A and B are shown apart, each in its own frame.
Chain A
């Protein structure tokens, strides 16, 4: 290899190392805060803790402290899984209809679905609050799932429809000639082929519910119904912030997200349709 290209090689590596460091530094800082005993904010630039202690985690789980992390983790899981299920079940059929069937009002409904995505969630906070109050669904996880589904379903429909549009129409036609009804085409041909897209869509719906803070904080007054982001925020007080607890909580919140991501990762790899038609 000639010299200029070796230099360029080294420079490229240096750039990548620098970018990785910049991305990892804040994460290391959070880990350092979580592992340092006490709740003070340590302003030293070192990303390594001086003393390692698991006290902050113990406090969160309620071991000798006041935390209720089990309860909050459970609440968050219920809401996020339910949102993902509602999103997937109602959007898969809708996406199939939008992608494969031709009916009056198809374009208009699609545009309408898109329009609902154009408003920031916070704009709906007050109308939704009034609605939930009327439905006696304030302070309820069911209410929160309903709220999250209003935003996740349209997104899921669009994202799934986009994928279904890429599946060759000849597959539907072959199935129709084979005697399949629309439902059978959906269930036996399209759905199995849409698995990668279903995984991505479910992941999105799960994450959007898992991470959501503002609406949850607005609709949940009862501390026993708190989801993780709301509980985390409670460590940040007006006069005093429990940095150690906050950082430990942030780590706990991110672990399930990573687990879900790894679990679905193999489905995220496309290419399931390769070979059906010329390829």
Chain B
């Protein structure tokens, strides 16, 4: 077990910057999830830690030892691949024992460890099968077994659940979380699935185009997104954004309002914006409620764009001015709501997030303040 430290990690491939200076630390025994859209560099970062790619700049430390010049075997890491990468010509037992055999461990010790790990993962009955005789879920467990049996300092997971069907993914995710608590090992886990990220992570690092957007406990990222990208990435359905302008009623200390095309919302007292400031209003679906009557400063009026019914719950897309917001509602309460119908939603304004609105933001404009969280950094 060990902590991992990444300092100023840079990676270039053929003149393209894949990673642009990542600083990140993983504590001993912590499960860090690297998450982000495809092409953000999360898998590259994992492969750099594994030693499968060479750094263009920066340092990698594992357990107080600088490892970025060492070959993968000497870094004492184990990796579970997205494709599992089991050796097709070897049995499950041979697959798991391969690394130990190469280390020239005594036969007895190898057998003991393989049996132990197989018992942990309930693979005992499959030890003499070959990978092609296993189901997807079983292969996935063998891949994990091959990592666990080596007792590495750090486990690396590269989207290990993405080849499983939805039901199995849910089950394996639970098992993985349990396994992490049992082993207590340091793990770095790459996924593009925010549900996996939210549920498994002790801490989460969100990447975008080779840059670290925010790192912290999952709920912190959800509740206090540092910029508009983080806000929009987490949550399903995602946060909606409305372009607005801040308006301050009366002289200093007055109430602050957000005005946009087709709405005017009253902001809670924790926002202190000066008059005329261009902002993005971030609205989470759970902060919108169906409400025919609501105070004027908490009301969004518009026309229905689309209704998605998922069973008990439904998602409603509402067009407000030139933007749209997504609300979550109980399907039974919607009745026969058709696209084009007028609809009013009540906004829980305490849940609003406010981001800078500027031409050069590129989707990652910084947050101005988070209501009710006391994080009033950098108030305009």
Instruction: Answer yes or no: A121 CB below 8 A from chain B CBs.
Output: no
Q: A275-B88, A276-B132, A278-B136 are in contact. Are A179 and B52 (CB under 8 A)?
A: no
Bound Cα distance A279, B131 (Å):
10
Beta-carbon nearest neighbor of A275 in chain B: B132
Bound Cα distance A235, B86 (Å):
57
Given the complex, which residues of B lie within 8 Å of A275, measured CB to CB?
A: 86, 88, 130-134, 139
Assess the A180–B88 pair: CB atoms within 8 A: no
Assess the B99–A178 pair: CB atoms within 8 A: yes
Q: In the complex, what's the smallest C-beta–C-beta distance from B80 to chain A, in angstroms? A: 9
Beta-carbon nearest neighbor of B147 in chain A: A177
Given the complex, which residues of B lie within 8 Å of A272, measured CB to CB?
A: 88-89
Given the complex, which residues of B lie within 8 Å of A193, measured CB to CB?
A: 88-89
Beta-carbon nearest neighbor of A178 in chain B: B99
Assess the B87–A184 pair: CB atoms within 8 A: no
Beta-carbon nearest neighbor of A277 in chain B: B83
Instruction: Answer yes or no: B150 CB below 8 A from chain A CBs.
Output: yes
Bound Cα distance A277, B130 (Å):
12
Given the complex, which residues of A lie within 8 Å of B99, measured CB to CB?
A: 177-179
Assess the B87–A177 pair: CB atoms within 8 A: no
Bound Cα distance A193, B50 (Å):
25
Among B52, B79, B85, B133, point to the contact of A171 (Cβ < 8 A): B85
Q: In the complex, what's the smallest C-beta–C-beta distance from B312 to chain A, in angstroms? A: 34
A-B contact pairs, 8 of them (CB 8 A): A170-B83, A171-B87, A177-B78, A178-B150, A193-B89, A274-B88, A276-B85, A278-B84
- The interface bits of chain A over 177-190 (1 if a CB of B lies within 8 angstroms of the residue's CB, else 0) are 11110001000110
Instruction: Answer yes or no: A192 CB below 8 A from chain B CBs.
Output: yes
Assess the A178–B102 pair: CB atoms within 8 A: yes
Bound Cα distance A28, B85 (Å):
51
Assess the A279–B132 pair: CB atoms within 8 A: yes
Q: In the complex, what's the smallest C-beta–C-beta distance from B213 to chain A, in angstroms? A: 28
Q: In the complex, what's the smallest C-beta–C-beta distance from A241 to chain B, in angstroms? A: 52
Q: In the complex, what's the smallest C-beta–C-beta distance from B67 to chain A, in angstroms? A: 13
Given the complex, which residues of A lie within 8 Å of B72, measured CB to CB?
A: 173, 176-177, 179
Among B73, B136, B139, point to the contact of A178 (Cβ < 8 A): B73
Residues of A187-209 at the interface with B, using a CB-CB cut-off of 8 Å, are: 188-189, 192-193
Instruction: Answer yes or no: A175 CB below 8 A from chain B CBs.
Output: yes
Interface residues of B (CB under 8 A from A): 50-52, 71-73, 77-79, 81, 83-89, 98-99, 102-103, 130-134, 136, 139, 146, 150, 163
Given the complex, which residues of A lie within 8 Å of B136, measured CB to CB?
A: 278
Q: A173-B52, A176-B52, A184-B102 are in contact. Are A273 and B88 (CB under 8 A)?
A: yes
Instruction: Answer yes or no: A256 CB below 8 A from chain B CBs.
Output: no
Beta-carbon nearest neighbor of A174 in chain B: B85
Q: In the complex, what's the smallest C-beta–C-beta distance from A274 to chain B, in angstroms? A: 5
Given known contacts A193-B89, A277-B83, what 12 new A-B pairs fall within 8 Å (CB)? A168-B85, A170-B85, A171-B85, A174-B85, A174-B146, A177-B79, A177-B99, A179-B103, A180-B102, A272-B89, A274-B132, A276-B87
- The interface bits of chain A over 106-124 (1 if a CB of B lies within 8 angstroms of the residue's CB, else 0) are 0000000000000000000
Bound Cα distance A179, B81 (Å):
16
Q: In the complex, what's the smallest C-beta–C-beta distance from B300 to chain A, in angstroms? A: 45
Given the complex, which residues of A lie within 8 Å of B150, measured CB to CB?
A: 178
Given the complex, which residues of B lie within 8 Å of A278, measured CB to CB?
A: 83-84, 136, 139, 163
Beta-carbon nearest neighbor of A184 in chain B: B102
Q: In the complex, what's the smallest C-beta–C-beta distance from A256 to chain B, in angstroms? A: 30
Q: A179-B73, A276-B131 are in contact. Are A173 and B87 (CB under 8 A)?
A: no
Assess the B86–A276 pair: CB atoms within 8 A: yes
Bound Cα distance A168, B131 (Å):
15
- The interface bits of chain A over 259-279 (1 if a CB of B lies within 8 angstroms of the residue's CB, else 0) are 000000000000011111111
Bound Cα distance A178, B72 (Å):
8
Assess the A168–B132 pair: CB atoms within 8 A: no
- The interface bits of chain A over 208-244 (1 if a CB of B lies within 8 angstroms of the residue's CB, else 0) are 0000000000000000000000000000000000000
Assess the B71–A176 pair: CB atoms within 8 A: yes
Bound Cα distance A168, B52 (Å):
15
Given the complex, which residues of B lie within 8 Å of A277, measured CB to CB?
A: 81, 83-86
Q: Top 9 nearest A-B pairs by Cβ distance?
A: A275-B132, A276-B88, A178-B99, A170-B85, A179-B73, A277-B83, A174-B85, A275-B131, A179-B102
Assess the B86–A176 pair: CB atoms within 8 A: no
Given the complex, which residues of A lie within 8 Å of B50, measured CB to CB?
A: 173, 177
Given the complex, which residues of A lie within 8 Å of B139, measured CB to CB?
A: 275, 278
Q: In the complex, what's the smallest C-beta–C-beta distance from B165 to chain A, in angstroms? A: 12
Given the complex, which residues of B lie within 8 Å of A176, measured CB to CB?
A: 51-52, 71-73
Q: A272-B89, A276-B131, A278-B163 are in contact. Are A177 and B84 (CB under 8 A)?
A: no
Beta-carbon nearest neighbor of A169 in chain B: B85
Beta-carbon nearest neighbor of B78 in chain A: A177
- The interface bits of chain A over 53-91 (1 if a CB of B lies within 8 angstroms of the residue's CB, else 0) are 000000000000000000000000000000000000000
Instruction: Count chain B CB atoms within 10 A of each CB in A173, A192, A273, A276 and give the residue with the most.
Output: A276
Q: In the complex, what's the smallest C-beta–C-beta distance from A266 to chain B, in angstroms? A: 15
Residues of A145-182 at the interface with B, using a CB-CB cut-off of 8 Å, are: 168, 170-171, 173-180
Beta-carbon nearest neighbor of B162 in chain A: A278
Q: A168-B85, A179-B99, A179-B103 are in contact. Are A174 and B79 (CB under 8 A)?
A: yes
